[in-house]
Amino acid sequence: MTSPSILIAGASIAGPVLAYWLRRYGMNPVVVERAPDLRLGGQTVDLRGAGKDVVYRMGLERQVHERTTREEGIHFLDESGQIRASLGADDFGGEGPIAGVEILRGELASMLYEHTRHETEYLFGDRVESLHQEDDKVQVRLLNGGERTFDLVIAADGTRSKTRDLVFGAGTELRFLGGYAAYFTIPRVDSDGTWARACALPDGRSVLLRPDNLGTTRALLTYLSSNPGHDKLDPRAQKDMLQRLFAHAGWETPRVLAEMEHSPDFYLQGITQIRMPCWSRGRVAVVGDAAYAPSGVTGMGTTLALVGAYILAGELARYRDSHQAAFASYEALMRPYVTRTQHLPPGIPRLANPRTRLGIKVFHSVLRSATHPLVTRALGKVLRPPADTLQLPDYSALDRRAAAFERAEDAEGVSAGA
């Protein structure tokens, strides 16, 4: 396969990054996205370690820094609004709870799309309805685009990936970790400032407000629950449930609940990990949250998506004549990194959501001393994700190989024309 055609399901983060690198190596990606337009909503995401390096290798360093939220850190408050602990963006080497580079998910998605749309075919408002693998190709039926043939198919369409489930079915484990998070945007007020502010509430609840760079504020409500399925309720039922759960809570919770009712991008999801024994089957593979969502408490979902897409594209270029070898090498390189990320310290996410007021006081006390060298070592695995524990492979030589393929194909075209 000198120039394989590859269908990528999902146009969020992993999909466009994968498309970019595949094009760099002389392949022909097509991205299909079920949403009618690019989805620009979502909360602040972290660019950390190897994930940040991937974006910079794409030539987007300047654009990223122009669009960061510029959060200075995070304050931890009690119900009266008093600051009980603070962690700056530079603490833990810029890789703590607030990373050195924070950007809105929608801003990053838009950036990646603009960087790839002129050389990649995007199909919005469509999805993979069915697929049939043959020895040398994959026959794909798209809901609106009819039947098409590809050499490979990659599922990059998130935790609830429909494309993945067509191929892997029950082989995917959605590991519910006992909590939920509701995300939405609310109007900004002067008190929101330039620091993220987190308020822990009794019964395992919390409220987080984060300033963005668009003049609004991103709100996050989290709560512990042993009951799965809240994320499958309709939005009205979810909001009613949150109104009950957070009723009479202190700090700015009443404001957050009131604005939630009118927010245009409300979204509730379970804190869940994706575990798969194998990330490929035949000519189909998975990447990003569809393969190994680490859970919302690690701050590593975007990093894994970026790194996974980069490595998958590189290995497909390295083993251009064997997708089996490429998929196996991708998994061998990526799985240890994913395993380290998904290995949560005992008690997470419950430790970050104390159920009692005494537990909240202890939580704040620990955070106040978190930057002391002795405490930092003890809390390193909790407060500093393992983003920098992988060195990105160097695929730069493969760019020249791709250029050689293109020159050869151009020469064949000229010869044929003559």
**pLDDT value, residue 91:** 75
**pLDDT value, residue 123:** 97
Record the tokens describing residue 284, joined without a space. Answer: 């189909």
Q: How does pLDDT run along the chain (418 residues), one tens digit per residue?
A: 568 999 999 999 999 999 999 999 999 999 999 999 998 888 888 888 899 999 999 999 999 999 999 899 999 999 999 999 998 887 766 666 666 688 999 999 999 999 999 999 999 999 999 999 999 999 999 999 899 999 999 999 999 999 999 999 888 999 998 999 999 999 999 989 999 999 999 999 999 999 999 999 999 999 999 998 999 999 999 999 999 999 999 999 999 999 999 999 999 999 999 999 999 999 999 999 999 998 777 778 999 999 999 999 999 999 999 999 999 999 999 999 999 988 876 666 677 788 899 999 988 888 888 766 555 555 555 556 677 789 999 999 888 555 655 565 666 655 555 4
Half-sphere exposure in the Cβ direction for 162 (13 Å, CA): 13
Report the alpha-carbon distance of residue 57 to residue 292 in Å, rounded.
23
Nearest to 68 by CA among 91, 98, 33: 98
**pLDDT value, residue 379:** 57
| Domain assignment of residue 373, yes or no | no
Structural element, H or E, at residue 416: helix 396-417
Classify 266 as helix, strand or coil: coil
Sign of CA dihedral 201, 207, 208, 211: negative
**pLDDT value, residue 184:** 96
**pLDDT value, residue 164:** 97
| Domain assignment of residue 303, yes or no | yes
CATH number, position 31 = 3.50.50.60
| Domain assignment of residue 368, yes or no | no
| Domain assignment of residue 297, yes or no | yes
Domain that holds residue 187: 5-350+381-409
Classify 206 as helix, strand or coil: strand
Structural element, H or E, at residue 223: strand 216-224
Q: Which pTM does this prediction carry?
A: 0.90
**Domains in the chain, number:** 1
Place of tokens 């799309």: 113
Record the tokens describing residue 25, joined without a space. Answer: 């190596």
| Domain assignment of residue 171, yes or no | yes
**pLDDT value, residue 43:** 86
| Domain assignment of residue 62, yes or no | yes
b/e sequence 308-346, b meaning 16+ C-beta within 10 Å: bbbbbbbbbbbbbeebeebbbbbbebbeebbebbbebee
| Domain assignment of residue 362, yes or no | no
| Domain assignment of residue 374, yes or no | no
Q: Enumerate residues 6+ apart whose C-beta is below 8 A from 372.
A: none
**pLDDT value, residue 170:** 81
**pLDDT value, residue 385:** 65
